[in-house]
Every structure is written in C-alpha cells, then in structure tokens.
Amino acid sequence: MDTNLTPKYIAHLREEFNDALMSLQLPEQPSYLYKPMSYVFSGKGKRLRPILLYITGKAMGASEDDLKYASIAVELLHNFTLVHDDIMDQDDFRHGKHTIHKKWDESTAILSGDGLYVLSLSFVAKVKTHSLKVIKTFNEAALMVCEGQAYDKQYENDRHISIDDYFIMVEKKTGNLIGLCTELGGILGNQSHKNIKDLKTFGMILGTVFQIQDDILEIMANEESMGKSLGSDITKGKQTILSILARKKDEKEWDILNSNIKEIDSTIRRQKEFFISNGIIVEAQRMIQSYINQANEILNIFPEPCKSQLTQFTELVLNRNH
Amino acid sequence: MDTNLTPKYIAHLREEFNDALMSLQLPEQPSYLYKPMSYVFSGKGKRLRPILLYITGKAMGASEDDLKYASIAVELLHNFTLVHDDIMDQDDFRHGKHTIHKKWDESTAILSGDGLYVLSLSFVAKVKTHSLKVIKTFNEAALMVCEGQAYDKQYENDRHISIDDYFIMVEKKTGNLIGLCTELGGILGNQSHKNIKDLKTFGMILGTVFQIQDDILEIMANEESMGKSLGSDITKGKQTILSILARKKDEKEWDILNSNIKEIDSTIRRQKEFFISNGIIVEAQRMIQSYINQANEILNIFPEPCKSQLTQFTELVLNRNH
C-alpha cells in the first residue's frame, strides 16, 4: 500500500465525502427541516474529520462501508455542533456563506441542527463492526463536545480563566471530536485496547493544536481566507490562547488595549501588535510544536502506512491557512 | 399478575421515575450545561411516556433493567424536545416554572436541550435486549419528532392547512413519541413483528388523541391547572384541530373574530364561544372517540394484563385536565 498521503488523494477523499453528503437524498418535506439541512451540506467544508477517520481506519484494514458510514456520521455531528454554536455565538458567516440562523432564523437553525445530529446517529447505527462500542463511543464524544461548548460559553468575559482551564475546554470542545475520528478508525480497524487509546490521544492532541491554530488565525488571518468575519472572539469576550497568554504577560497593558472593544478594527490591530511585540504568537507556536512532538511520539509505535499517513495529515493541518 | 392499573400504582411509578431522574448524578461542572439540565428534572412532569413504556413492557414480561433504561431515555428525549420547542415557540412557562430560555437564555437552552438528547442516547445504549433494534427505533422516532415540529413551525399562519395536513403533523410530532413507548415495550417484551407494529399504532393513536385534547385544553382549561399561560397557540398562529375546524365551518366569521388577536383575552373568550356554539368542541371530541375506538380495537388481540392496563392507561389520558 502506498504510504503517501498526496494532496491529490486528500482532494479525492474530500470530493468523495462532498458527493456522499450531497447525495443523501433527504425528503423534500417538511422543507422547514430539510432545506436548511441540505444547505449545510452544500457548504465548502474541509471535511478534515471524515478524511482523518477514513485514512486511520483504512491504514488498519477496516471495512470500506463501515468507514464511510462512520466518516459521514462524524461530519454530520460536527456540522450539528457548528449550526448550534453559530446561534449561541451569533456568528453570521461560515465557509463564506450565511449561517442558518442568519439566512433563515433561530428556530430553523435549532431544529435543523437537531436534525443533523439525529441523521448522524442513523449513520453510526449502520456500522457493522463492533456496532455497540462504536455507538457508545460516539455518544460519549458528543457529550464531551457539549461540555466543551458549555465551558466556552461559561468562560466568556471571565478574567480568571487560566491556561489549564483553557486546555480543559479545548480538549473537550475540539479535541474530543477529532479524537473520536482516530478512535473510531482504530475500533473499526480491530485494534487493541491500548492502540485505540493511543489513537484517541493522538487525535485529541491534534484537535488541541487545531484549536490553538484557530485562535491564531482568527486574529492574524484575513477574512477572505477564513470565510467569516474576524474579531468575533473579541466582541464575545472569548478566552483564546492568545488572550490568556497576553493577560498573563501584562494584565494592565492588555486591559488598556481592550478598553474600547466596540472599535473592533483598531482593537484587532492593537491586539496583533501586542501579540507580536510581546512574543505571544511565538509562545503559542511553541506550544503547538510541543503538542506535535507528543503526537509524533505516539505515532512512532504504529506500523506503516498508519504512521506516515497520520504524520502527513498532521502537516496538512499545520499548514492550513483557514 | 394484577391487571388493575390503580391510581396508586401510577403514582408509585411516577415517583419512581422522578426519583430516577433526580438521582442521575450529573457532574457539577460545567454548570452552564448541567445546572439547567438538572432544573428540567426538577419539574413536575406527568411522566406519562415512561409509565406507558414501562407498563407495556412489564405486561409482556420484559426485563426490569431494560424497561427502566428505555423509560428514562424516552422521558429525556421528550424533555429535550420540550426545551427546544419552548425556545422556538417562545413559551415562557412549563409545568408552572420558567422555561430554560426564560430563566437563563437561549444559548443555555439550546445547549442543555442538546445535552438532554445526548444523555437520552446513553440510556438507550444501556438496554441489553435487541440493543441495535432499540437504538434504531429510537433514532427513527427522534427524526419523526423533528419532522413533526418542522411541520408545526411551517404551518404557522398558513390558512391552507387542511385536517389531513394537521393529522400528518400531529402523528409525527406527538404520535411518534408515544408510539415509541409502546413499540419499545413490545420489542423489549420479545413480541412478534406484527404485535410490535400494532403496539406502535396503538401508541400513535393515543398520541394523536393526546394532541387533540391538548389543543382543546389550551383554550378551554384554566392557566393554573395547565401550569402555563394560555392563548400561545393563537398569538403564534398555530394550526390546531379547533382552528382548522372553525375555519372550515365559517371562514368569514372566523376571520372577523380573529381580526385583533393582540387583545388576547377577548380573542380567547370569543373563540371559546364560537367553538361551543358551532359544535366544534363536540366535533373534536367525536374525533377523539373515533380514535379511541380504533385503539381499543387493536388492544383486543392482546392478552391480559396488557389489554386491561393499556385500556386503563387510555382512560387516564382521556380524563386528564392538564
């Protein structure tokens, strides 16, 4: 088997998952439920989670059908969380398109989010290998993701949140869903209990890296590449890796800098300057590198093509610009 | 086995389910998620759904543990739908208490609703008899309930909704969840495919009756016994059995009567008069009786104590005043 995870292969898998989502053949009625659900599938998601689950399981020799069902399920679960989180965070854009609550209204977004989750469960239930274990693993991860989002909301505007609190939140909110992908890949690939645990840990670390990166991109990237308006973390008083490190570095200066967050453009500009001149970005990137080292350490025990492919997937995540 | 479903036994089961819900021992943190979830359990629900599932399965000799897990699961599923529906319908009271979005806010209500659903799935996954079938049945019912709620929202202020449309909505929205209770009772009680189907149909009919009754109580009962403010159906432009029959009876008169729905008290009073003087209540009650006859017909084929207990349960539902 080719151990190389070429950009062409990734693009091919993304296309496959996009096709699968577009051809789910949801009923026409009630359109109140199914139209916004279809709208979600038409978005240009990166499909990183199903790709990760698929390549992990494939490298372990899992069944093609099981991998496809489980991959679609995690992507639907992910989209359910996006739809509901976007309401809670009042984010109006996602992947360059209006979010459901913006395009329709909040009731439509609540219900179609629910529908996406129920649909995800119907895909999990199609898996034939270790069915009950897969279902329980999926449920547990979903609860952790809810807990993570709860911490995210609970922490808003809370000046006492520490780096440790942040990592608890991120591990639950972002880590668990990506950890679920590698964990399910391992379960479907009939791996040992220890290997499944290691794969899960690898995914959770990757998810944590992903979130730290997201925090950086949210302020340092440009709106076009992100497909959404930036600065939303600031106006919502979100705790990000950068804001926590900044507060720790120089609380007084940081407070002055944020004294008028209604002027969002100048606040973004001043925050950027603060992060760069105080070495905050470098510090966050050092954290990312430390996590990546831990992740690679875990991968060392896995045979090829798993090791190479997951290493390459990690690089893919690291090099993203949105 | 005693075939009698005494009020004392019903009260005992309700107490058991209340205790089970109160002792779920949810984690303390994140309080943003678990505090409102616990608040939901402290409400004075009638617990009709878990009681129905339990007595159905018990009459068929199902395992005590399985019945308890499945019963808690349907009650959690039901509460998830209430929390989200209350946001969508902007209903501020439930069982005499503030709804979550009113007591906290919409984000809290969205997330704790999600949490209730995820929790319900963890209970379904504990069931040991026909596990996968139970899980799939549960998922299918949840999707139908979403569809029903979608129709309910889609139909708001739509003057073209017919009686047939109404029954499609009600069957999905209310019928499916009650049908799920009798269906799961049958599955856990190792019944034949035909018996399970009949039990499901019986539950769906009972659910339809329940909804017609609810439509009547919503306008004819008093606020205290209902534990919520009345007239919400009117202000939201909901299609109820009474409004559809009234429009069919005398569209012009009905329109005049509803020309100023902002004056809710006088609109309720005038609607009541219209319903009574035009025989609309009698017609709706005739429909209920016709459904009850169908339900009893189905029960005829079931042995004791199933037949007697479900007949008595039907009477319990019929005689409720809230």
Q: Which residue of A has its CA nearest to B33?
A: A150
CB contact under 8 A, B150 and A30: yes
**Chain B closest-CA separation from residue A26 CA (Å):** 12
Residues in CB range of B136: below 8 A, 6 or more apart:
A122, A125
Question: Are B239 and B162 a contacting pair, CB within 8 Å?
Answer: no
- Global confidence as pTM: 0.96
Region of residue B128 (left: phi > 0; alpha: psi -120 to 50; beta: else): alpha
Name the residue among B194, B207, B311 with its Cα closest to residue B186: B194
CB contact under 8 A, B146 and A114: yes
Give the residue from A24, A31, A86, A114 with the most B CB atoms within 10 Å of its CB, the best one to mutate. Answer: A114
Q: Which residues from chain A sit within 8 angstroms of residue B84, using beta carbons?
A: 110-111, 114
pLDDT 10s digits, A264-293: 888 889 999 999 999 999 999 999 999 999
Angle between helices B31-41 and A131-154 (to 10 degrees): 110
**pLDDT at residue number A224:** 65
- Cβ count near A37 (within 10 Å): 23
Evaluate if residue A96 carries a pLDDT over 90. no
**pLDDT at residue number A225:** 67
Q: Which residues from chain A sit within 8 angstroms of residue B111, using beta carbons?
A: 84, 88, 146, 149-150, 153
Give the residue from A105, A119, A121, A144 with the most B CB atoms within 10 Å of its CB, the best one to mutate. Answer: A121
Residue B238 inside a domain? The answer is: yes
**pLDDT at residue number B224:** 65
Complex ipTM value: 0.95
**Chain B closest-CA separation from residue A107 CA (Å):** 5
Cα(B271)–Cα(B274) distance, integer angstroms: 5
Question: Are B135 and A135 a contacting pair, CB within 8 Å?
Answer: yes
**Total structural domains within chain B:** 1
Residue B1 inside a domain? The answer is: no
Q: Which residue of B has its CA nearest to A156?
A: B32
Residue A1 inside a domain? The answer is: no
**pLDDT at residue number A2:** 62
- The three-state secondary structure class of B94 is strand
CB contact under 8 A, A139 and B146: no
Residue of B111, B135, B151 with shortest CB distance to A135:
B135
- Touching check for B16 and chain A: CB below 8 Å? no
Residue A2 inside a domain? The answer is: no
Evaluate if residue B217 carries a pLDDT over 70. yes
**pLDDT at residue number B227:** 65
Q: Which residues from chain B sit within 8 angstroms of residue A33, using beta carbons?
A: 146-147, 150
Cα(B173)–Cα(B2) distance, integer angstroms: 33
Evaluate if residue B143 carries a pLDDT over 90. yes
pLDDT 10s digits, A154-205: 999 998 999 999 999 999 999 999 999 999 999 999 999 999 999 999 999 9
The two tokens of residue B224 are 């205290």
The two tokens of residue B41 are 């359990």
Q: Which residues from chain B sit within 8 angstroms of residue A139, using beta carbons?
A: 118, 121-122, 125
* B residues 102-131 lying closer than 8 A (beta carbon) to A: 106-108, 110-111, 113-115, 117-119, 121-122, 125, 131
* Interval B293-315 mean pLDDT: 95
The torsion angle over the Cα atoms of residues B44, B48, B51 and B56, rounded to 10 degrees, is 180
Q: Which residue of B has its CA nearest to A142?
A: B118
Q: What is the CATH number of the domain that holds B245?
A: 1.10.600.10
Q: Which residues from chain A sit within 8 angstroms of residue B136, using beta carbons?
A: 122, 125
Residue B84 inside a domain? The answer is: yes
Residue of A34, A118, A136 with shortest CB distance to B125:
A136
Evaluate if residue B264 carries a pLDDT over 90. no
CB contact under 8 A, A132 and B136: no
* Interval A245-267 mean pLDDT: 89
Evaluate if residue A16 carries a pLDDT over 70. yes
Residue B2 inside a domain? The answer is: no
The two tokens of residue A299 are 């991968």
On average, the pLDDT of chain B sits at 93
- Touching check for B168 and chain A: CB below 8 Å? no
- Touching check for A166 and chain B: CB below 8 Å? no
**Residues of the domain holding B214:** 7-318
